[in-house]
């Protein structure tokens, strides 16, 4: 369903009535405000402050600001120079005398509005925060480096040296892909490529930050596959729990023997045995859960 | 799928551990008895709520003389533990970390779970020092013969302590996993759509489209009316001139 269907019907009626009455004044006001609205939407979606509703804040200036930031950040421009020039020409014409906007120029104003509306800018907030995005893209592969799985076992630990190699490799891969998309976008803007570029940028940042960043999820956590993988760590935690209990019991026994010289030596063997079992359990955890994940 | 089963299994064990912790508070924590010449001269058992209890009838001097000291510490900690057990059970059943849409909702329960684990640890690690050693009782079990009075003193921890240890083992994996989960994952506070809609709504410029259409419509009608009247007038004038 076209979200602009209702609006387009009204706009057609407005243009028809304007022609009939030979009055372009009202249509000019409407299309000028619509152009500002569509630019405002694009700007906000890209993470810019909204276009403030006063004449001081001109639409073509807003377009220039967006373009310069995009050029600095992504090395391409969202708006072509021709469309900015057109917006500037007709905006200044409208602002100079809004009560007598020429009919011929109204046609241009209508064209500018529809050209801008066709652009369809991606929602930067969504591209950055949405895990659905992540799970359906290249990013998942990278995340899986950090929360790994092997034969049903997984963990959050891995060798720092290995992780650095993975980081370097991924950063290189991503930079290469980024450069290709930037080149493509420089020639012609399209929403999908821009979304991909945003994802790669986000991923590069995450890789640089390591595991310090939390994994965001939408909906119920049980549906997140990274969470599902992390559930495999639970049996390992039973081993840690058992080791902690044995250590606590051996501490109690040994300290009691220090306080009570009359029973000194009676439980020493038990205390050390418990301590030994705790060490074995710790070793088992290290071997079965911790080290295996690190060695992947 | 296997992961989900592990998660459910850990939660069931957690609830079972909570049940054990709760029941343990009504069980005996410690047993002490003394035998002299083959006959029992003193027998005491400690319960957190009822303090030291004896199966002997009151007034037997040897039994009264060997009564260990009272302690309110286990009573206070027991009350805290029972309260926590109920809150944590509620959290595990209704506010489970995997069922939640918002991490913020489950965080308080996970912190309370951690506090419960610490109380549990207190009963296992600290209580033997603060209660047993200070009351001249031994851990975990021992029989000591006092040659001067020819009496055998028997000391033994009760089922409550064993149940606390078992409870710790059962609740530990789930709690550790929950703590790691809230540190690894975060739920999105606001959807991007809502955020964008909110910003756009606040910066929206009103477009009087309907109003303009209505105005143009009425202007158009009035123009039509004028032209009809003019046409009528012209027709009448033409007839008159003929």
Rounded Cα distance, B39 and B151, in Å = 10
Environment class of residue B89 by beta-carbon count within 10 Å: exposed (0-12), middle (13-18) or buried (19+)?
middle
Question: Angle at the Cα of A165 (from A159 to A168), degrees rounded to 5?
Answer: 135
Dihedral angle at the C-alpha atoms of B80, B81, B86, B92, nearest 10 degrees?
130
Local structure of residue A92 (DSSP, 8 states): H
Chain B contact set for A249 (CB, 8 A): 124, 165
> Once rounded to an integer, what is the mean pLDDT over residues A164-189?
76
Chain A contact set for B208 (CB, 8 A): 29-30
User: Would the pLDDT of A278 be above 90?
Assistant: yes
Local structure of residue A210 (DSSP, 8 states): G
* Helices (H) then strands (E): counts for chain B: 8, 6
Rounded Cα distance, B160 and B180, in Å = 30
User: Would the pLDDT of B44 be above 70?
Assistant: yes
Mind listing the pLDDT tens digit for each residue in B89-145?
999 888 877 777 777 888 899 999 999 999 999 999 999 888 888 888 888 888 888
Strand partners, A154: A149
Q: What is the pLDDT of residue A153?
A: 42
Rounded Cα distance, B178 and B180, in Å = 5
The residue of chain B with its CA nearest to that of A12 is B213
User: Would the pLDDT of A208 be above 50?
Assistant: yes
Shortest alpha-carbon distance between residue B242 and chain A (Å): 34
CB–CB contact B185 A229 (8 Å): no
Strand partners, A108: none
Chain B contact set for A233 (CB, 8 A): 177, 180
Mutation for A interface: B99, B139, B186, most A CBs within 10 A: B139
Residues present in chain B in total: 242
Sorting pLDDT into bands at 50, 70 and 90, what band is A209? low
Ranked by mean pLDDT, the top range of B3-7, B118-122, B218-222 is B118-122
Q: Which two tokens stand for residue A9?
A: 């019907």
Mind listing the pLDDT tens digit for each residue in B9-29?
888 999 999 999 999 999 999
Residue A35's closest CA among A77, A91, A79? A91
A104 interfaces chain B, CB cutoff of 8 Å: no
Asked if ipTM goes beyond 0.90, one says no
A98 interfaces chain B, CB cutoff of 8 Å: no
CB–CB contact B188 A232 (8 Å): no
Residue A65: Cβ within 10 Å count: 14
Dihedral angle at the C-alpha atoms of B191, B194, B200, B201, nearest 10 degrees?
-160
Mutation for A interface: B173, B204, B224, most A CBs within 10 A: B173
Sorting pLDDT into bands at 50, 70 and 90, what band is A155? very low
Do the Cβ atoms of B97 and B178 come closer than 8 Å? yes
B168 or A26, higher pLDDT: B168
Average per-residue pLDDT for chain B? 85
Do the Cβ atoms of A124 and A208 come closer than 8 Å? no
Q: Is the whole-model pTM more than 0.90?
A: no
* Least confident residue range of A45-59, A124-138, B219-233: A124-138
Q: Which two tokens stand for residue B39?
A: 């006959």
Q: Which two tokens stand for residue A271?
A: 């205390």
Shortest alpha-carbon distance between residue B58 and chain A (Å): 32
Q: Which two tokens stand for residue B30?
A: 């410690």
User: Would the pLDDT of A158 be above 60?
Assistant: no
User: Would the pLDDT of A292 be above 70?
Assistant: no
Rounded Cα distance, B34 and B56, in Å = 12
> Once rounded to an integer, what is the mean pLDDT over residues B139-159?
89
Regarding beta strands A215-217 and B185-187, do their DSSP bridges make them parallel or antiparallel, or are they unpaired? Answer: parallel
User: Would the pLDDT of A141 be above 50?
Assistant: no
CB–CB contact B125 A29 (8 Å): no
Sorting pLDDT into bands at 50, 70 and 90, what band is A154? very low
Q: What is the pLDDT of residue B122?
A: 94
A273 interfaces chain B, CB cutoff of 8 Å: no
Do the Cβ atoms of B32 and B44 come closer than 8 Å? yes
CB–CB contact A18 B216 (8 Å): yes
Rounded Cα distance, B85 and B17, in Å = 9
Q: Which two tokens stand for residue B25?
A: 């508070």
The residue of chain A with its CA nearest to that of B173 is A237
Sorting pLDDT into bands at 50, 70 and 90, what band is B73? confident
Residue with tokens 């956590």: A221
A175 interfaces chain B, CB cutoff of 8 Å: no
Local structure of residue A231 (DSSP, 8 states): G
User: Would the pLDDT of A163 be above 70?
Assistant: no
Shortest alpha-carbon distance between residue B240 and chain A (Å): 32
Phi, psi angle pair for B142, to nearest 5°: -165, 150
Local structure of residue A287 (DSSP, 8 states): I
User: Would the pLDDT of A149 be above 50?
Assistant: no
Q: What is the pLDDT of residue B168?
A: 96
- Encode burial over A24-55: b for 16+ CB neighbours within 10 A, e otherwise: bbbbbbbbbbbbbbbbbbbbbbbebebbeeee
Mind listing the pLDDT tens digit for each residue in A219-249?
677 777 778 778 888 888 999 999 999 999 9
Rounded Cα distance, B16 and B79, in Å = 19
Sorting pLDDT into bands at 50, 70 and 90, what band is A296? very low
> Once rounded to an integer, what is the mean pLDDT over residues A169-185?
78
Local structure of residue B67 (DSSP, 8 states): P
Rounded Cα distance, A191 and A195, in Å = 6
Sorting pLDDT into bands at 50, 70 and 90, what band is B162? very high
The residue of chain A with its CA nearest to that of B184 is A214
Average per-residue pLDDT for chain A? 77
> What is the Rg, in whole angstroms, of the alpha carbon atoms belonging to chain A?
32
> Once rounded to an integer, what is the mean pLDDT over residues A105-120?
88
Residue B134's closest CA among B75, B82, B74? B74
Mind listing the pLDDT tens digit for each residue in A245-277?
999 999 999 988 888 877 777 788 889 999 999
Mutation for A interface: B121, B212, B218, most A CBs within 10 A: B212
CB–CB contact B173 A251 (8 Å): no
Residue B62's closest CA among B102, B30, B33? B33
Secondary structure class of A48 (helix, strand, coil): coil
Dihedral angle at the C-alpha atoms of B231, B234, B240, B242, nearest 10 degrees?
-100
Q: What is the pLDDT of residue A266?
A: 73
CB–CB contact B187 A260 (8 Å): no
> What is the Rg, in whole angstroms, of the alpha carbon atoms belonging to chain B?
40
Q: What is the pLDDT of residue A143?
A: 47
**For chain B, what percentages of helix, strand and coil (3-state, to nearest 5) are there?**
60, 15, 20
User: Would the pLDDT of A29 be above 60?
Assistant: yes
Q: Which two tokens stand for residue A283?
A: 């070793």
Q: What is the pLDDT of residue A53?
A: 62
CB–CB contact B144 A262 (8 Å): yes
Residue B163's closest CA among B227, B224, B232, B81? B81
Rounded Cα distance, A294 and A148, in Å = 9
């Amino acid at each position: 369903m076209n979200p602009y269907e209702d609006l387009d019907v009204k706009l057609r009626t407005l243009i028809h009535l304007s022609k009939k009455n030979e009055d372009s004044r009202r249509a000019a006001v409407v299309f000028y405000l619509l152009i500002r609205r569509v630019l405002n939407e694009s700007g906000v979606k890209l993470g810019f402050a909204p276009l403030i509703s006063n004449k001081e804040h001109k639409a073509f200036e807003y377009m220039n600001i967006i373009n310069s930031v995009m050029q600095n950040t992504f090395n391409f421009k969202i708006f072509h120079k021709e469309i900015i020039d057109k917006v500037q020409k007709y905006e200044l014409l409208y602002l100079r005398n809004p009560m007598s906007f020429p009919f011929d120029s109204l046609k241009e104003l209508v064209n500018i509005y529809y050209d801008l509306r066709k652009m369809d800018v991606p929602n930067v907030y969504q591209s950055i925060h949405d895990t659905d995005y992540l799970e359906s893209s290249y990013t998942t592969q990278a995340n899986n480096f950090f929360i790994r799985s092997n034969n049903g076992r997984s963990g959050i630990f891995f060798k720092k040296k290995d992780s650095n190699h993975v980081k370097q490799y991924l950063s290189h891969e991503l930079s290469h892909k980024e450069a290709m998309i930037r080149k493509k976008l420089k020639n012609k803007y399209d929403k999908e490529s821009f979304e991909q570029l945003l994802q790669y940028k986000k991923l590069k940042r995450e890789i640089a930050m390591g595991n310090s960043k939390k994994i965001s999820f939408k909906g119920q956590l049980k549906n997140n596959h990274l969470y599902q993988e992390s559930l495999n760590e639970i049996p390992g935690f039973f081993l840690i729990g058992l080791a902690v209990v044995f250590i606590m019991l051996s501490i109690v026994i040994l300290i009691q023997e220090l306080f009570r010289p009359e029973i000194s030596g009676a439980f020493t063997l038990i205390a050390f045995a418990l301590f030994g079992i705790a060490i074995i359990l710790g070793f088992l955890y290290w071997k079965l859960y911790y080290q295996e994940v690190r060695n992947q | 799928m296997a992961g989900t089963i592990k998660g459910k299994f850990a939660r069931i064990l957690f609830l079972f551990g909570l049940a054990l912790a709760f029941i343990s508070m009504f069980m005996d924590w410690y047993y002490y008895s003394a035998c002299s010449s083959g006959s029992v001269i003193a027998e005491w058992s400690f319960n957190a709520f009822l303090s030291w209890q004896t199966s002997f009838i009151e007034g037997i001097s040897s039994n009264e003389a060997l009564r260990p000291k009272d302690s309110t510490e286990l009573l206070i900690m027991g009350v805290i533990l029972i309260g926590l057990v109920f809150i944590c059970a509620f959290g595990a059943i209704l506010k489970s970390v995997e069922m939640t849409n918002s991490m913020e909702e489950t965080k308080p329960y996970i912190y309370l779970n951690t506090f419960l684990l610490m109380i549990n640890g207190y009963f296992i690690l600290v209580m033997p020092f603060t209660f047993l050693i200070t009351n001249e009782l031994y851990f975990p079990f021992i029989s000591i013969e006092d040659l001067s009075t020819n009496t055998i003193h028997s000391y033994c921890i009760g089922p409550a302590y064993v149940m606390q240890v078992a409870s710790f083992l059962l609740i530990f994996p789930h709690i550790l996993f929950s703590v790691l989960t809230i540190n690894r994952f975060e739920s999105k506070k606001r959807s991007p759509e809502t955020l964008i809609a909110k910003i756009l709504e606040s910066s929206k410029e009103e477009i009087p489209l309907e109003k303009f259409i209505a105005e143009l419509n009425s202007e158009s009608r009035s123009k039509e009316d004028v032209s009809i009247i003019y046409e009528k007038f012209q027709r009448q004038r033409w007839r008159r001139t003929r």
